[in-house]
Amino acid sequence: MLAPLLALAAATAAPAPSELAGIWEGTVGNLPVRACFSHRESGDFGAYYYLSRLRLIPLDAEEGTGGAFHEGGGTEQGSPRWMIERAEAESLTARWTGGTRTLPVRLRRVARMEDDESPCSSPVFHQPRLEGVRTVTSRASLDGVAYSRIQLDVGERYDVSVETFALDGEGEAAQRINAALRSSLASSPPQWFECIQDSLGYHAFEGALAESLVPAMITGRWLSVSHHWDGDCGGAHPETSNNYRTFDLTAGREVNLHDWFNQAAVKRERLEGLEEDVTTLRPEFKRVVLEGWRAEDAECGEIVRDEEYWNIGLGRRGLVFQPLLPRVVQACGDEFIVPFSRLRPFLTEEGAANLRALEAESLARSQTAPAM
């Protein structure tokens, strides 16, 4: 009797984490899949996807069950789960159960990762999912200027949305700006994939991301871009940002509009560990920005008036100021358009010259616009 019992115990014992961790490929039943398992001090986890669908399914370890992983956060009776039976150097066997169904899982090892790497966040694990991702281009225009709208198409593989655009023209300036606008889609793996990696580095659920760069104004000299970013990439809380970016179409570079203001408006200081100055708005200048504003909520009014860090965008009627607020109080955020005339005492010579030229161009544009 003792020998059969020992054999049964060996067959159901939990595999060593060092053997389980890695990237695997094989079948669940007769359906091809790719799987990963990660070992962390906080706990073991994994994920897999069917090669026919390429949609990630999380696997969370069940405590005290000896090699059981439940799918997608579901722990109720009958929810799908894996029971790992054996994990060896090059092969893994398990049982998939869901309701009354049971399927064999047979996998072979694709890669073994180093201790400080997460197999589930590796591009090797995601390679079949990344291969079909593409961009879709369409034509659009703003302010009489045509450009190409670029949208990422991930199908149903990732919870990711990226939209940007590209200027027409083959000149160096346009190409440098286009490279900056396409940064989320560039490199291999692409930059947006970092959100997926960051999340899967610590738990079984991949990140979600929505990013858009849309032209807000195009002049002969300047490009103003509205940049929205919203992501849940594995941190304690999701993150959201909305700001404007300004590009000099002549020089082909991004411009920091804080540099257009003098010391009466902006405070500059170099903090330890940073290569660039940190710029904040001085209290006296904030009063100019917020002149005439009445907050609907007293608490929001205090939050906005106390905020030192602001984003500045370029518009035809003036500059757009946005307080850079923490996520928990972003509902208090607003845009404040300040006319050029109110800004003149606070501008550098370069800033004043740039705004005069923009005013002149806007005036000429309004005079030549066709009557409606």
Name the residue with tokens 């949609």: 55
How much is the pLDDT for 336?
A: 96
**Considering the domain 132-255 in this protein, what is its CATH number?**
3.30.565
Q: Where are the domains of the chain?
A: 12-131, 132-255, 257-372
Instruction: Provide the residue-wise pLDDT of the chain in tens; the chain has 372 residues.
Output: 434 433 444 444 555 555 789 999 999 999 999 999 998 777 789 999 999 999 999 999 988 767 899 998 766 677 899 999 999 999 999 999 998 899 999 999 999 876 567 899 999 999 999 998 999 999 999 999 999 999 999 999 999 999 999 999 999 999 999 999 999 999 888 999 999 999 999 899 999 999 999 999 999 999 999 999 999 998 878 889 999 999 999 999 999 999 999 999 999 998 777 777 899 999 999 999 999 999 888 899 999 999 999 999 999 889 999 999 988 888 888 999 999 999 999 999 999 999 999 998 888 877 775 554
How much is the pLDDT for 75?
A: 64
Using alpha carbons only, give the angle 270, 273, 275 rounded to the nearest 5 degrees.
Answer: 60
Contact predicate 66/95, CB 8 Å: no
Residues contacting 329, CB < 8 A, separation 6+:
300, 303
Question: How far is Cα 19 from Cα 329, in angstroms, rounded to an integer?
Answer: 46
Burial-class residue 334 by CB neighbours within 10 Å (0-12, 13-18, 19+).
Answer: middle
pLDDT digits (tens, 9 = 90+) for 92-139: 999 999 988 999 999 999 998 765 678 999 999 999 999 989 999 999
Contact predicate 255/247, CB 8 Å: yes
Residues contacting 202, CB < 8 A, separation 6+:
40, 42, 118, 234
Residue 343 — φ and ψ, nearest 5°?
Answer: -90, -15
pLDDT digits (tens, 9 = 90+) for 225-243: 999 999 999 887 888 999 9
Residue 344 DSSP SS3: helix
How much is the pLDDT for 8?
A: 40
Q: What does 31-74 look like in DSSP terms, one character per residue?
A: EEEEEEEEEETTEEEEEEEETTT---EEEEEPTTSSSEEEETT-
Residue 343 DSSP SS3: helix
pLDDT digits (tens, 9 = 90+) for 80-104: 999 999 999 999 999 999 988 999 9
How much is the pLDDT for 5?
A: 38
Name the residue with tokens 């970092």: 194
pTM equals: 0.87
Residues contacting 250, CB < 8 A, separation 6+:
173, 221
The answer to whether domain 12-131 has CATH 3.30.70 is no
Question: How far is Cα 4 from Cα 7, in angstroms, rounded to an integer?
Answer: 5
Residues contacting 33, CB < 8 A, separation 6+:
25, 26, 27, 48, 49, 50, 51, 107
Contact predicate 24/32, CB 8 Å: no
Q: 107-126 burial string, b = 16+ CB within 10 Å, else e?
A: bebbeebeeeebbbbbeebb
How much is the pLDDT for 217?
A: 97
How much is the pLDDT for 1?
A: 41
> Considering just the CA atoms, what is the radius of gyration of the chain in Å?
27
How much is the pLDDT for 18?
A: 56
How much is the pLDDT for 273?
A: 74
Using alpha carbons only, give the angle 21, 27, 29 rounded to the nearest 5 degrees.
Answer: 125
